Chain A
Amino acid sequence: DGGITQSPKYLFRKEGQNVTLSCEQNLNHDAMYWYRQDPGQGLRLIYYSQIVNDFQKGDIAEGYSVSREKKESFPLTVTSAQKNPTAFYLCASSMGGAPNQPQHFGDGTRLSIL
């Protein structure tokens, strides 16, 4: 089945450690996105990519980095510079150009500090 796969489902980070969240899609979508969700709140945009080898910062990019070397993959690295990384991270993709195309989401990764 076509969809978006995020891994791992749960992740723990030690102080000073970088961790990478995986996001893979087989929907042949051009655009991919990373969001952060804190408890009881809405989603906030971290980074997005409209095309391979190109990506832009969202509203809360500090302490995060991404790459888009393949159309199918958009990994997110949470660096040690992100002082409050505990949150639920959601990856999404969409067809891109058409404004009526909804974003499809993965099942998310819950990141916690050890």
Chain B
Amino acid sequence: AQKITQTQPGMFVQEKEAVTLDCTYDTSDPSYGLFWYKQPSSGEMIFLIYQGSYDQQNATEGRYSLNFQKARKSANLVISASQLGDSAMYFCAMREDTGRRALTFGSGTRLQVQP
């Protein structure tokens, strides 16, 4: 069963506008963490933001925020004031606190920011 689902293969956004990248997840573990990574065309994976399953507030890091809806099992990434440099692949990932504790990744969303 797919544990992380990203339903948007590609997204376009105008420069300076906000964009939401969707992520839903599936787990029976009560304790888990959700991560978002950015992958530019050069290939490196850049950590953006983290949300723990017990966190009461949505995580924020600069222009990035995470819209965490636990009951719906969704963890959408919101990028505010998009910049041209935001064009990249974005991956949602989950780590369950029991078992292997490695990340499980979604298939990614390619974001293109247009001037």
> A90: nearest residue on chain B (CB-CB)?
B45
Q: Would you call A99 and B103 a contact (CB within 8 A)?
A: no
Q: Would you call A108 and B107 a contact (CB within 8 A)?
A: no
Majority secondary structure, A binding face: strand
Q: Would you call A88 and B43 a contact (CB within 8 A)?
A: yes
**Cβ contacts under 8 Å, B107 to chain A:** 41-42
Verify if A17 is at the interface (C-beta below 8 Å from B). Answer: no
Query: Shortest Cβ distance from B110 into chain A, in angstroms?
Result: 8
**Cβ contacts under 8 Å, A90 to chain B:** 43, 45
Query: Shortest Cβ distance from A24 into chain B, in angstroms?
Result: 16
Interface 0/1 of A98-110, CB less than 8 Å to B: 0110111111101
Tell me whether A48 and B47 are in contact in the complex, defined as CB-CB below 8 angstroms, given that A42-B91, A43-B105 are known contacts. no
Interface size class of A (residues with CB under 8 A): 20 to 34
Q: Which of A35, A43, A110 has the most CB of B within 10 A?
A: A43
Q: Would you call B33 and A42 a contact (CB within 8 A)?
A: no
Q: Could you tell me the distance between the alpha carbons of A33 and B45 in the complex, rounded to whole angstroms? A: 13
Which chain B residues have a beta carbon within 8 Å of chain A's beta carbons? 4, 31-33, 35, 37, 42-45, 47, 50, 52, 91, 93, 95, 97, 100-108
Closest 9 CB pairs of A and B: A42-B105, A105-B45, A102-B47, A43-B105, A42-B107, A108-B43, A99-B97, A99-B33, A48-B102
In the complex, besides A43-B105, A48-B102, A99-B95, 20 extra interface pairs with C-beta distance below 8 angstroms are A31-B101, A33-B102, A33-B103, A40-B108, A41-B108, A42-B4, A42-B108, A44-B105, A48-B100, A50-B101, A99-B33, A100-B33, A100-B52, A102-B47, A103-B35, A103-B47, A104-B47, A105-B37, A105-B44, A108-B43
